[in-house]
Structures are given as C-alpha cells and as structure tokens.
Structure 1
Amino acid sequence: MTKRIIIIGLAAAVVVLFLLLLMGISHRVAPASQQGVDPRYLRTAVHYGNKNTSPYGGKAAFSLLDKYFNGRAPRLTTRPFTHTYRKTKSLEGSNSVYIAVASRLYITEQDAVDMSAFVAAGNQLFLAVESTDSLLENTFGFSTTESTWEILPASAVQRFVNPAFSPDTVFSGKGIPMNSHLVLEDSDSAVITVLGNNAKHQPNFFRIQHGDGQLFVLLNPMTWTNSWLLENDNVQSLTWQMAYLRMHADHVYWDEFYKYQKVRRTSDNFSDMQVMLKHPPLRWALWLALLLVALYIFSESKRRQRIIPAMPVLRNNSIDFAETLGRLYYLHHNNTNLAQKMAQHLLEYIRQHYFLNTAQINAEFISGLARKSGHPREFIEGMMQMVVEVRLGGDVDDEYLHTFYNSIYQFYQKTK
C-alpha cells in the first residue's frame, strides 16, 4: 500500500509539473514587437489545420471543399507527398486534385520528382503557401521572392485578375499581410498564367502548365483561414480559387503534413513515430507516458513479498494409509476392528488395481490374484485365508494382527 501511494504521488507530481510547464509556455510574455498586438496578427498563432477552429485554423475552408467537388469530401493525407504518391493507386491516374496549405513548403528531392510526375500525368496540384521551396521552383521552372513580414497590423488582401470575374475582385480582411510574389520573366508567359495579385499588385496566384496537368501556387494562405473567410464576403475568394480546379475530379486530397514542417527533411523515410513527434501535444504525451512507465518500473523492480516455496506433493498411497490406519486403531487396542478394516482396504485395492471380483474368495480367485500380482500362490493363499478368518469375526490377538499386517505390507510393497 505504501509503494502504491508513492507511485500515485509521483505520477501526480509529474502531471502537475507538466501542466505548469504548458501554462508557462502559453503565458510567456510576447516579444516587444508583438506586445499589444491583436492576437489575430501574431504569426505564432498560424496553424492551417483542418480541425483547428482558431482564427488561423483551416476548419472553415476544409468544411467548404466538398461543395466545390460535387459533394466529394477530400481525403486526409498525413505523410509526405512521395509516400502518398507511391502508396495510393488513385494518385497514379490523371484526374486527381491534391491541396496543401502551409506556412512554408519543405520538400525533398523525391517529393519534387513525384510532384512533377503527378502533375504531368494530368492531375492538379494546388499549393497555398507563404513561400515555396527551391526544389519545387527548380522542378517547375519559376521563382518567387521571400515574404516581407509586416510589423504593424494591416489588412490581408487578395486580388484576382481574371476578366471573367466581376469587377469587384479585391478581398481584404484582418490578418497577416503576405507579400511574397512571383518573379515573372518574359519567357514564362507561355507556361505561367497569373491569376491574382497581392496588395502591391504583384503576382501571388498563378498557374503553371506542366505536361497534361497544372500546378497552382497561391502565396497567400491567409485567404484559407477561418477568420479571413468568415469576414465580409471573403468566402467568395475561395470559390474563385476552386473554380480553376476540376469539380468532377475522381479524387481530392487534403494535406495535413507539410503545415507542421519547420525544417527540410533529410530523408524520404517517414515513420509513425515521426507523425507523433511532429505534433507538440502528441510529443509531450509520448515523453510523459515514457516517464511514467520508467517511474513504475523503478518503483516495482523489487518484489512486494518473499517467494512462496513450492508445496511438496502429498503422498497418498496404500502403504501410508495402512500405516496411518494401523496406528489409529492400535491406540484403542481393538485388534478385531483394525484387522477387518485392513482386510476391507485390501479387498478394495484388489478390485481397483486387478479388477477381480472379491465376493467369493476361492481357488480361482487366488490363482488370478497370484498371476496378476506376481506373488507366489502359497503367499496369496495364506494371506487370503487370514482375510476370510478376519471377516468371520474371530478373535485377533496381537501376534495374529502383526502377522496379518506383515503379510499385507509385503503384498503392497511388491505391487504398489
């Protein structure tokens, strides 16, 4: 009981320390550049997760996607693109849409190769990111500038330049301004189509024709956040973005991997452990569980009681029974009763072990018992003669009882 109380106390202390640590992190004083700023302008709050309901979460956008694809809900992917591409047969077709929303896109060389093959086959890849990866740019032949972060709060703006849209093509709302833009060369006009601009009228939404498919890059993922979409009529901007994608796509995928990547991966290998470690809550839960297991093993390494010795097997044979019965009746000195009990036990033993009928003790019985037990006929005949005399109730003195006992004991010794 004492050890159990200690274990519970240690576990409670670890949980309390863990909660205090989380509270300390969440209440940490913001940098001077962020003090007094509306929480919706803090970059630390950017998440883009499909289940995140915070201002910079992506739940609103994710819940609206099915209506743009004839009611087909997007399928979640939590692995790198190359893993999904090589493990999912549907991505090998030519009518799929893959959507990724992230702060920055960190891919490997194999990711870039597979993205190129995916688009060239006739599929559509839609990336809403603040800044792209150099591997992606080299693969698809374009270049962008890095985002210039605004210190003071300002509106997040997105413009569309397609003449088919209505004249009012400017959408704005509270959020973080994202000023990354495409560096457009004269030679790019054949394969790159500008679809939208940022607040400075620089191209930040464009389409690249690659093989039989298209790559769409939106350098303003703020337009995919809950706060921005729910303000004014900004949801229309998402509708116009999705108008470029195939509403009759066979498969639609929503990426839940790249938004959590803070640095470039050094390998294309990816395990379930990496999925847990890339999410801070899961990572903390894993380390806490390992710590509790270690505490339990440490406290329970010693046994709570001494080893219980093995109990010896109880002996229960005919000799021990006869000896015990003999000592019991010898104390009362009732030789006749004791001899009868010995005779009764002997006959029961013969019935169970030699399967002989003891109702009549005759020559045939004596011959059968001698043959089965291996005793000489003369010995069996003498012993059974005493059995008959005892059963008739004659007087049994000590000497007769001793002779009868020795005869039975010798019989058991050879046949036990």
Structure 2
Amino acid sequence: MIKNTYIQSVYILLLLLLFASCKKTNWRENYREKEKSPFGTYIISEEATSLFPRERITFLDENIYDYLLFNAAEDSTVTKNYILIKHSAYKQTRETAQELLNFVKQGNTAFIALNYFQENFKEALEFTTNNLDEEVWSIPKLKELKGEFNLVHPDFENTSYTFDRNIQRNYFLQYSNTKTQVLGTTTVGGEKVPNFIKIYHGKGAFYLHTNPIVFTNYYMLNGKETYAANLLSYLPSQEVLWDVHIKSSKFSSEQTKQPSIFKFFLQHTTLTWFLFVSLAGLLLFMLFNARRKQRPIPEIPPLKNTTVAFTQTIANLYLNENDHKNLVDKKIAYFLEKVRTKYLINTSNLNTEFIEKLAAKSGNELQNTKYLINTIIALNKKIECSEEELIGLHKMIENFFNK
C-alpha cells in the first residue's frame, strides 16, 4: 500500500496560489491535468511522484491505442499501471477498448475513474452502472449533490469520507460475482452500493471508480486527499502510464473510416503549401474586394407635395355640392392674403387709396385693378353666387398675378 505523504500546509499554500489571482472561478468539471481551476486535475498529476515515489511515470502525449500498438515489443515480463481520470473516455474507440483489455489480460493493471464508461467496454467486462443524477448539468444543481464514501479494506473500513458538492449518485448496478471484488461504496438512499470495484481480467485487473471528481483540485485542497491516495494505493508498485486523454488515435481503423480532408492535405508537403497559399489568396481577395466595393446608396425619393392634390379634392367637393359662394369666399380670402404677403398692403379697407397703391405695386393697370376690387366687394356682399361668377373671379385673379 502506498502511504499518504501529503502535507496539509503545502495544500493550503497551493490553494492560495491557485485561486488568489483568479477574478472569476471556473466551476466547470474539466479534469485537465494542466488546469488549476477547482475541477481540474493539476494537483493530483503534480503529486504523482509522491504517490508513486519509486516508479517511473509517463504522461501519454498520444492515444493509448497508438502507444500500445508501437510498444508491444517491450519486455512482456515488465508490467505497468494504466491510469485514466476523466469525465468520460470519449476518445476510446472499440479498437482502443480491445487493445486496453489485451494490455490488462497480459498481467498489467488499469485504474479508470469515469462518470460514463463506454458501452462496449462495459459489455467486455460484464458490468453496468446507474447514474441517478445523469440529467444534472448546471453548476448550481451539481453544487447541491453531496455524498459519503467508504472503503471495504480493513485498514479503511472504520473511516467514512464525506464530500460536499458535485457528487453524483453513480454506482455499479450489475457485475460478475465470480471475477469482481467490491472495494468501495457510496451511500444512496441510506443503502451502501459499490462505486469502486476490482475486476480480474486474465493475468491483470481493472480498478474502476464512478466518481472521478474526488481526484480534482477542489478535493485535493479540502482535506479529502487521503481518500484519493487510498484509492491509488491499491495499485501495485510498477511503472505508471498516466493517460491525459488529449488525442484521438491516428491508427485505429475506426478513425480512418471518415478521413479528414485537411489531415490528408497536411500529410503531403506540396498539398500543405497549396492549402496555405489558397487560403491566403482567398483572404487577400476578400480584404481588397471589400475595400473597393461599397454598398449602393439607396435612393430616397423626395416627399411629395400633396397641397395641390388636397386643394383639388376640396374644390371638387364644393363643386359637386354646387356651393359656389363658399368657393368665391375662399378665392377672395386667398387673393387678399397673397396681396398682404407679396405687396405688404393692408387689406382691411378696400378704398380708392388701396386700389391705387395695389395697381402701382403689382404693375397692373389702374382700371383693371379697380374692376377686380369692385367685383370682389360685390361678390362678398352676395348670399349666393353662380358658377359663371366663380369662374369669372378665378380668371380675373389669375390674370392679375400673371401680369
């Protein structure tokens, strides 16, 4: 068993360094080895040398399928530990799962902590899981999920580990009793159900855990690091392959069924240059074309003067009603208003002085001006007017202003 070598004061210092400079804490579960947010796995990966002080640790920079494919010729008598701590093994194809099964079957050990295991992997090892909080995704709802874990081993059986957030009720539902050993439990509805099991497979074994959240920075800094250390202490003392799970397989046939056109171009130097030059040319074309062309300026039609149309409409209304007197009055009012504004003559008294002054300023003959003013005075006194009188007045006014 690996003994716990963590120092509490060191964790407190790390906590200050990790979160003091953060303006806003990222509470998303990411399980990234280089992520210092609460639910990254930076601390557990950094402390791997303390957990396995005498063993060589390799952080895989390639898919486990590719690694095993090209390292199968190594000494088969040297066994290794494989560790994967993630939300789900989404980069694990069916071929990857089979290669990992063969790897363990030869006498190696695999420690896998996931929220979701691949179906083909569960079928191969004959187990099923049940996650009662599978539909819980939001950060506030996850924060409400608490849990209590126990380890079955005699050295730990009197210790309970309580966790205050993001603990999904995820456990193993069915498994083979002949090749499975329950190593840890979680309390669900007052009943202890397995969340940490060991499945023997060939000469090796799988250690499976349904709550990878316990390995994140948040719990490494909140006094729960002992539980994580105890879980990993079940692994034998041998070389460790730590899967950071950052790349898909390059050689799995399942990956080559749907090849990427960009990957094909990047595999050939000439095609790579062709791709880059084409993209650069397209970018330059769009840039210069955008500068040379402007959007057409929309034509804004001028506002229409509807005064004439409105006047015609009103005039037609009066004509249809045979209200000639009303139109005569409006024509007179129009004439006098225009005289006031155009010639600046007072129209309150239409006497001889007014007629002489109007004739002089307008340029009309005195006799014609006198006749127009006398007609206006006569029509203004009438109660009713005929159509002929209206037309005659209209023509006289038009001739007066057209002079």
Q: Give the alignment's TM-score, normalised by structure 1.
A: 0.51
What's 2:216 paired with? 225
Cα deviation, residue 267, structure 1: 1.9
- Matching residue of 1:23: none
The question of 1:204 aligning with 2:195 is answered yes
SS at 2:128's partner residue?
A: coil
Q: Are 2:48 and 1:65 aligned?
A: yes
Which residue pairs with 1:145 in the alignment? 130
Aligned counterpart for 1:171 among listed residues 151, 155, 161: 161
**Cα pair 2:150 2:157 within 8 Å, conserved:** no
| Within-5 A mapping of 1:117-266 | 117-149=102-134, 150=136, 151=141, 153-165=144-156, 167-168=158-159, 170-184=160-174, 188-200=176-188, 201-232=192-223, 234-247=224-237, 249=238, 251-257=239-245
Distance, in Å, in 1 between the alignment partners of 2:34 and 2:118 is: 26
Q: CA deviation at 1:118?
A: 0.3
Deviation at 1:202, TM superposition (A): 1.4
1:126–1:217 CA contact under 8 A, matched in 2: yes
Structure 2 letter corresponding to 1:218: H
Match of 2:93 in 1: 108
Unaligned runs of 5+ in 2: 1-23, 264-275, 290-403
In 1: Cα distance, 2:87 partner to 2:165 partner:
14
User: 2:34 aligned to 43, 48, 51, which one?
Assistant: 51
1:95 to 79, 84, 91: 79
1:119/1:292 CA distance change after superposition, 3 Å: same
Distance 2:82 2:278 in 1: 37
1:212–1:56 Cα change, 3 Å: same
Give how far 1:195 is off.
0.8
Decide whether the 8 Å contact of 1:58 with 1:225 is kept in 2: yes
1-structure distance, mates of 2:43, 2:206: 23
Q: Secondary structure at the match of 2:196?
A: strand
- What percentage of aligned pairs have identical amino acids? 19
The whole-number CA distance in structure 1 between the counterparts of 2:75 and 2:40 is 27
Q: Secondary structure at the match of 1:103?
A: coil
- Paired AA for residue 109 in structure 2: Q
SS of equivalent to 1:127: strand
Distance in 2, matches of 1:87 and 1:242, equals 27
The question of whether the paired residues in 1 share the 8 Å contact of 2:145 and 2:168 is answered with no
What CA distance in whole angstroms lies between the structure 2 residues aligned with 1:289 and 1:148? 50
Q: How many residues align?
A: 238
Give the secondary-structure state (helix, strand or coil) at the position aligned to 1:125. strand
8 Å CA contact retained: 1:175, 1:222: no
The alignment status of 1:267 with 2:257, answered yes or no, reads no
CA distance in 2, matches of 1:240, 1:174: 19
Give the secondary-structure state (helix, strand or coil) at the position aligned to 2:146: strand
Q: What TM-score does the superposition give when structure 2 sets the normalisation length?
A: 0.52
Q: Distance in 1 between matches of 2:203 and 2:277?
A: 49
**Residue identity matched to 2:219:** W
CA RMSD, 1 decimal: 3.4
Deviates more, 1:133-142 or 1:93-102: 93-102
* Structure 2 partner of 1:75: 58
Q: Distance in 2 between matches of 1:91 and 1:133?
A: 30
Q: Deviations over 1:180-230 (max 9, x none)?
A: 211235xx2221011111232211110001011010111000111000111
Shift of 1:88: 2.5
Unaligned 5+ segments in structure 1 are 1-37, 275-287, 302-416
User: Is the 1:158–1:220 contact (alpha carbons within 8 Å) kept by the matching residues of 2?
Assistant: no
Alpha-carbon distance in structure 2 between the residues aligned to 1:199 and 1:225: 21
> Is the contact between residue 155 and residue 173 of structure 1 (CA under 8 Å) also seen in structure 2?
yes
Cα-to-partner distance string for 1:37-74 (whole Å, 9 max, x where unaligned): x967x5xx111111110000001111121222224352
Query: Does structure 1 conserve the Cα–Cα contact (< 8 Å) formed by 2:32 and 2:244?
Result: yes
Measured after TM superposition, the shift of residue 110 of structure 1 is: 0.9
Q: CA deviation at 1:290?
A: 9.7
Contact kept in structure 1, 2:197 and 2:207, CA below 8 Å: yes
- Cα pair 2:95 2:254 within 8 Å, conserved: no
Deviations 1:306-333 (A, max 9, x none): xxxxxxxxxxxxxxxxxxxxxxxxxxxx
Q: Any residues of structure 2 matched to 1:302-317 within 5 Å, and which? A: none
Cα distance change on mapping 1:218 and 1:292 into 2, 3 Å: farther
- Residues 39 and 299 (structure 1), Cα distance of their counterparts in 2 relative to 1, 3 Å cut: closer
Alignment of 1:32-43 (within 5 A): none
Q: 1:323-338 alignment to 2 at 5 Å?
A: none
Q: 1:111 Cα deviation (Å)?
A: 1.2
